[in-house]
Amino acid sequence: MSDRNSRNRTLMDTARAIAAEQPPAAIEAAAAERVRSAVAAATAGAGAGDLESSETSASIETLTRCADYQARMPALVAGTLPEAQRLLVEDHTRECIPCRKHLQAVRAGRAVSDAPSGPAAPARVGRYYAAAAAVAGVAATGVWLSQQILQPPQDGIVQVQNVDGRMFVAASGGDSELVPLAPGDAIDGGV
């Protein structure tokens, strides 16, 4: 156990040392300069157009909904989509059936309607809650049945089989009277 504790302690000390480590100022400055130059190059390329087109491209840069992915599918088919976006769109179409059908329609050259193709699929969360409730109900019923059927009643559960000498039990009236017991007598309440 102490070997395990020492390994855990060593791991935690190493993690703290890595978290506390600061890069040298020269490396940090070089990385900041690389980022500045990349941002400047991207801004210079986007700055050639008017303000409205840069706002449109900024809103299109985020891929959050199926409509965002479907808007890029013609460029994907034409081969003009940037590599990073191409990978994102291809990955999304592997997982999303409506977008996969949309991509197949674009590749086939069919007109694609902007209207949704049908009602949205029902959420599957309700099914999980229903299954969990059913399992809980079955478990509760099983516990109740096991207590009713498998456990014997608690009244008179203890019975005197054999007595070597004399045996007494306190009377149920609350006074200090003792009642003698003989073989075959049951003790009420399991006492």
DSSP 71-110: HHHHHHHHT-S-HHHHHHHHHHHHH-HHHHHHHHHHHHT-
Q: How far apart are CA 113 and CA 107, in angstroms?
A: 14
114 compared with 59, residue with greater pLDDT: 114
Longest alpha-carbon distance in the chain: 111
Looking at every residue in the chain, the average pLDDT score rounds to 79
Sign of the Cα torsion 138, 140, 142, 148 reads: negative
Q: What is the mean pLDDT of residues 101-109?
A: 90
Residue 167 has pLDDT above 90, yes or no: no
State residue 44's pLDDT score.
Answer: 74
Q: What DSSP designation does 25 have?
A: H
pLDDT tens per residue, range 53-62: 444 444 446 7
Question: What does R_g of the chain's alpha carbons equal in angstroms?
Answer: 39
- Asked if residue 71 lies in contact with residue 64, where contact means CB atoms within 8 angstroms, the answer is no
Distance (Å) of CA 138 to CA 50, 59, 126, 132, 149? 66, 51, 18, 10, 16
pLDDT in tens, 121-165: 666 778 888 999 999 999 999 998 888 777 766 655 677 888 888
Q: What is the pLDDT of residue 157?
A: 66
Give CA–CA dist 17/23, Å, rounded: 13
- The residue among 68 and 111 whose pLDDT is bigger is 68
